[in-house]
Amino acid sequence: MPASTEEASRNFSGLLDLIEAGETIRITRGNEPIAEVGPARRRTGADLEAALAAANLPALDQDLEEDIANALALVANEGTDPWAGA
């Protein structure tokens, strides 16, 4: 969906609603596209786990396996602050 810079500045909240609903907005200045804004891709620990499984990697050593498990735990707890209490 195209929107001029003027439309984008006047109706930014409305454009964000459209983006949240799945639309990609192309912002233009003088009929020239200058930006495209679309929905953010949410990534989860399951995405990482699936990517690692699909990569068909050789067996992991114990340290790397623990590092990956710790990374997955952090991503799975996206609502928490990993730096709290640091």
Check whether residue 25 and residue 9 sit in a common domain.
yes
Is the model's pLDDT at 73 over the cut of 70? yes
Q: What is the pTM of this model?
A: 0.49
Check whether residue 31 and residue 56 sit in a common domain.
no
In a domain, 84, yes or no: no
Other CB atoms within 10 A of residue 4 CB? 13
Check whether residue 23 and residue 49 sit in a common domain.
no
The pLDDT of 60-85, averaged and rounded, is 75
- Our count of domains for the chain comes to 2
The pLDDT of 41-57, averaged and rounded, is 81
Measured CA to CA, the distance from residue 79 to residue 12 in angstroms comes to 27
Range of the domain at 60: 45-76
In a domain, 7, yes or no: yes
**Residue 34 CA neighbour count, 13 Å, CB half:** 10
Is the model's pLDDT at 48 over the cut of 90? no
User: For the CA atoms of 78, 81, 82, 84, what is the dihedral angle to 10 degrees?
Assistant: -170
